[in-house]
Protein backbone atom coordinates (compact mmCIF):
# COMPACT_ATOMS: atom_id res chain seq x y z
CA UNK A 1 0.00 0.00 0.00
CA UNK A 2 2.79 2.44 0.93
CA UNK A 3 4.59 1.73 -2.32
CA UNK A 4 1.45 2.45 -4.35
CA UNK A 5 0.94 5.87 -2.72
CA UNK A 6 4.58 6.77 -3.30
CA UNK A 7 4.27 5.73 -6.92
CA UNK A 8 1.14 7.88 -7.37
CA UNK A 9 2.90 10.91 -5.91
CA UNK A 10 5.86 10.30 -8.18
CA UNK A 11 3.60 9.99 -11.26
CA UNK A 12 1.78 13.22 -10.30
CA UNK A 13 5.13 15.01 -10.06
CA UNK A 14 6.18 13.66 -13.46
CA UNK A 15 2.86 14.73 -15.01
CA UNK A 16 3.12 18.22 -13.50
CA UNK A 17 6.69 18.52 -14.78
CA UNK A 18 5.64 17.49 -18.30
CA UNK A 19 2.79 20.01 -18.37
CA UNK A 20 5.02 22.77 -17.03
CA UNK A 21 7.78 21.88 -19.51
CA UNK A 22 5.28 22.01 -22.39
CA UNK A 23 4.03 25.43 -21.34
CA UNK A 24 7.56 26.80 -20.96
CA UNK A 25 8.56 25.38 -24.33
CA UNK A 26 5.58 27.00 -26.06
CA UNK A 27 6.41 30.36 -24.46
CA UNK A 28 10.08 30.08 -25.44
CA UNK A 29 9.31 29.21 -29.04
CA UNK A 30 6.68 31.94 -29.09
CA UNK A 31 4.29 30.13 -31.42
CA UNK A 32 0.53 29.90 -31.23
CA UNK A 33 -1.91 28.67 -33.86
CA UNK A 34 -5.62 29.43 -34.01
CA UNK A 35 -8.17 28.12 -36.51
CA UNK A 36 -7.43 25.51 -39.13
CA UNK A 37 -5.87 25.44 -42.56
CA UNK A 38 -8.05 25.74 -45.63
CA UNK A 39 -7.22 25.59 -49.36
CA UNK A 40 -6.86 28.96 -51.08
CA UNK A 41 -6.86 27.70 -54.67
CA UNK A 42 -10.68 27.38 -54.94
CA UNK A 43 -11.21 31.04 -54.03
CA UNK A 44 -10.98 32.07 -57.69
CA UNK A 45 -14.01 29.81 -58.40
CA UNK A 46 -16.34 31.72 -56.05
CA UNK A 47 -19.12 33.51 -57.94
CA UNK A 48 -21.32 36.06 -56.22
CA UNK A 49 -24.99 35.29 -56.85
CA UNK A 50 -24.23 31.73 -58.03
CA UNK A 51 -22.08 29.76 -55.58
CA UNK A 52 -24.12 27.95 -52.91
CA UNK A 53 -23.22 26.80 -49.41
CA UNK A 54 -23.07 23.18 -50.58
CA UNK A 55 -20.49 24.13 -53.23
CA UNK A 56 -18.42 25.98 -50.66
CA UNK A 57 -18.50 22.99 -48.30
CA UNK A 58 -17.11 20.84 -51.09
CA UNK A 59 -14.37 23.39 -51.87
CA UNK A 60 -13.26 24.25 -48.34
CA UNK A 61 -14.86 21.79 -45.91
CA UNK A 62 -16.80 22.90 -42.86
CA UNK A 63 -16.22 26.48 -41.72
CA UNK A 64 -14.13 27.25 -38.66
CA UNK A 65 -16.75 29.74 -37.41
CA UNK A 66 -20.29 30.68 -38.35
CA UNK A 67 -22.18 33.84 -37.54
CA UNK A 68 -24.45 36.65 -38.62
CA UNK A 69 -23.53 40.03 -40.11
CA UNK A 70 -26.26 42.59 -40.80
CA UNK A 71 -28.82 39.79 -40.51
CA UNK A 72 -27.08 37.61 -43.11
CA UNK A 73 -25.44 34.23 -42.42
CA UNK A 74 -21.62 34.17 -42.49
CA UNK A 75 -19.04 31.43 -42.67
CA UNK A 76 -15.43 32.05 -41.74
CA UNK A 77 -12.39 30.00 -42.64
CA UNK A 78 -9.30 31.13 -40.78
CA UNK A 79 -5.80 30.05 -39.93
CA UNK A 80 -3.62 32.28 -37.80
CA UNK A 81 -0.08 31.33 -36.79
CA UNK A 82 1.51 33.85 -34.46
CA UNK A 83 5.20 33.79 -33.61
CA UNK A 84 7.35 35.99 -31.39
CA UNK A 85 10.58 35.11 -33.13
CA UNK A 86 9.55 34.06 -36.62
CA UNK A 87 7.15 35.18 -39.27
CA UNK A 88 3.47 35.49 -38.36
CA UNK A 89 1.23 33.96 -41.00
CA UNK A 90 -2.50 34.61 -41.26
CA UNK A 91 -5.25 33.84 -43.74
CA UNK A 92 -9.00 34.28 -43.48
CA UNK A 93 -11.96 33.95 -45.78
CA UNK A 94 -15.33 35.39 -44.74
CA UNK A 95 -18.37 34.47 -46.85
CA UNK A 96 -21.82 36.07 -46.64
CA UNK A 97 -25.03 34.37 -47.79
CA UNK A 98 -28.57 35.44 -48.65
CA UNK A 99 -31.67 33.68 -47.28
CA UNK A 100 -31.40 31.06 -50.07
CA UNK A 101 -27.83 30.15 -49.00
CA UNK A 102 -26.31 31.73 -52.12
CA UNK A 103 -23.07 33.71 -51.82
CA UNK A 104 -23.65 37.48 -51.81
CA UNK A 105 -20.12 38.65 -50.91
CA UNK A 106 -16.80 37.45 -49.58
CA UNK A 107 -13.52 38.80 -48.25
CA UNK A 108 -10.16 37.04 -48.39
CA UNK A 109 -7.04 38.29 -46.62
CA UNK A 110 -3.63 36.69 -46.24
CA UNK A 111 -0.22 37.69 -45.01
CA UNK A 112 1.30 35.54 -47.78
CA UNK A 113 1.61 37.64 -50.97
CA UNK A 114 1.41 34.44 -53.05
CA UNK A 115 -2.08 33.77 -51.70
CA UNK A 116 -3.40 37.24 -52.48
CA UNK A 117 -2.14 37.08 -56.07
CA UNK A 118 -4.64 34.37 -56.94
Question: What pLDDT score does 2 carry?
Answer: 55
If one compares 12 and 93, the residue with the highest pLDDT of the two is 93
Expressed as residue numbers, the domain containing 52 is 31-116
How far apart are alpha carbons 29 and 23 in whole angstroms? 10
Residue 8 lies in a domain: no
Q: Worst-scoring range by mean pLDDT, 20-24, 52-56, 68-72, 111-115?
A: 20-24
Residue 26 lies in a domain: no
Strand ranges (DSSP E) for 1-118?
31-35, 65-69, 72-83, 89-97, 103-110
Residue 97 lies in a domain: yes
Question: What pLDDT score does 102 carry?
Answer: 98
Q: Which conformational region is residue 66 in: left (phi greater than 0), alpha (psi within -120 to 50 degrees), or beta?
A: beta
Residue 45 lies in a domain: yes
Residue 20 lies in a domain: no
The answer to whether residues 79 and 112 touch, using CB atoms and an 8 Å cutoff, is no
Residue 39 lies in a domain: yes
Residue 9 lies in a domain: no
If one compares 58 and 15, the residue with the highest pLDDT of the two is 58
Q: Please provide the DSSP assignment of 74-92 as one string.
A: EEEEEEEEEESSS--EEEE
How far apart are alpha carbons 114 and 106 in whole angstroms? 19
Residue 81 lies in a domain: yes
Name the domain count of the chain.
1
pLDDT digits (tens, 9 = 90+) for 33-79: 888 999 999 999 999 999 999 999 999 999 999 999 999 999 999 99
Pairing of the two strands 31-35 and 65-69: unpaired
How far apart are alpha carbons 29 and 31 in whole angstroms? 6
Amino acid sequence: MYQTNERRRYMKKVLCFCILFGLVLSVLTGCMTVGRRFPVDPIHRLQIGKTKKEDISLMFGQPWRTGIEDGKKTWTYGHYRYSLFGETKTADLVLRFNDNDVLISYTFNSSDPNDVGL
